[in-house]
Chain A
């Protein structure tokens, strides 16, 4: 499934990285990124629950998670 961080909305709370560190991390300024440094990518279906928790933990509503395969 797809996952995307809206860079316009992200304010760097880092709650995605706290609750789903296997998916999300930080760039050099503390804004949320996927672990490869990008703002969007494909996740394995097994990561769906973790990605959804990160989405639901974002105060800015900056994370979109697609439907699993």
Chain B
């Protein structure tokens, strides 16, 4: 593709078009073959990286492409939510932060999400997965999206934040209203966000007046003081809690769901994992590569001319990690899922300074969820491949996916 100086209008993709959502890869390959960056005027207009190199280069351009614009799709006019007087300042740092504010906030959360730190969630995740399977194993069929994948990350994030078990179901309700049902009911989404942040606010106040010994993220963030002895501002703690929610839940459930959707169609690969359990970590990375759920957004704050594409201030840019991970310039036979693939330098978790901070927890949840499912239900298949529905936009994964066994 060439875009001439007058910024000719072109529409090479539509992030929420049902065909693109159901199977974006042919479109990505077609556009990538012409230009490493695509252009669309749909939904307020955007550019989208399609090659691996473009995703990396544009992700690295943090000076000119700001993370204040992580969400690319605007609400449609009829979906505009009412102003939220409380918590209007609460964003989702550090995903929404640019340098120099970005790094100190990232450093605050990384120790809670390092491989050693997340190990403590493995037994609880396994127990949860087994409990969910107990609920449907005698039925001979289950929706692995809503009945399994979607039930897991929300409870693990709840434990990470230190939300009391007795409040866990309330938290699940808010999260589902915000992430899962929010696109249907924006009033409910706004109301749930306010309720949830009110609850988090009460948690901050409670931890400040009754310090506790726990090592959960909320307790730790409330304990931290700066060089002058000042605690972190409430809006920042609320923002980090909000980040755990918007970055740690539908992303991971999409990966779990897509992994099971794939394995339902590949009995030979289920057998391969039974024959050689040491392949599991590789299999997880390969599934992450092939079915990367997340595309991140940026907003240009300066002119960027990239490969002939004139990105101008105010333009939105989609960093498509799913497209990067199917780039034939980097991955041989990119559309083939190969658990023995070598040189898998996938960017499912992004690249550069904003690389997903929760990747180690996501990997753990995905591995335990898939392993436990295959142990309990070795043979399963899609009930009706054509009936599987996917959510698209910036997080892609199955939303309804019945399997029989």
Interface residues of A (CB under 8 A from B): 11-15, 17-19, 21, 25-30, 53, 56-60
Contact = CB atoms under 8 A, between A and B. Distances in A.
Interface of B: 56, 107, 110-111, 113-117, 281-282, 285, 342-347, 349, 351-353, 355, 357, 359-360, 363
Q: Which label, helix, strand, loop or mixed, suits the secondary structure of the B interface?
A: helix
A30 B111 CA distance: 7
A13 B110 contact: no
A14 B345 CA distance: 10
Contact of B116 (A11, A18, A21, A28): A28
B220 to A, nearest CB: 14
B114 A27 contact: yes
Nearest to A21: B281
Nearest 4 A-B pairs (CB), nearest first?
A: A30-B114, A56-B343, A29-B110, A11-B355
A26 B114 contact: yes
Contacts of B116: 26, 28
Nearest to B106: A29
10 contacts: A13-B359, A15-B346, A17-B115, A19-B342, A28-B116, A30-B110, A30-B357, A57-B342, A57-B344, A59-B347
A61 B239 CA distance: 32
B282 A19 contact: yes
Nearest to B114: A30
B360 A30 contact: yes
A18 B285 contact: yes
B194 to A, nearest CB: 33
Contacts of B351: 11, 13, 59-60
Given A19-B344, A21-B281, A59-B346, 9 more contacts: A14-B115, A19-B282, A26-B114, A26-B115, A28-B114, A28-B117, A57-B343, A59-B345, A60-B352
Nearest to A60: B351
B107 A29 contact: yes
A59 B115 CA distance: 18
B344 A15 contact: yes
Contact of B349 (A13, A28, A57): A13
A67 to B, nearest CB: 19
A27 B363 CA distance: 17
Residue of A12, A19, A58 with highest tally of chain B CB at under 10 A? A12
A11 B110 contact: no
Given A19-B282, A59-B347, A11 B352 contact: yes
B110 A12 contact: yes
Contacts of A14: 115, 359-360, 363
Nearest to A9: B352
Nearest to B354: A11
A30 B344 contact: no
A11 B351 CA distance: 8
B348 to A, nearest CB: 9
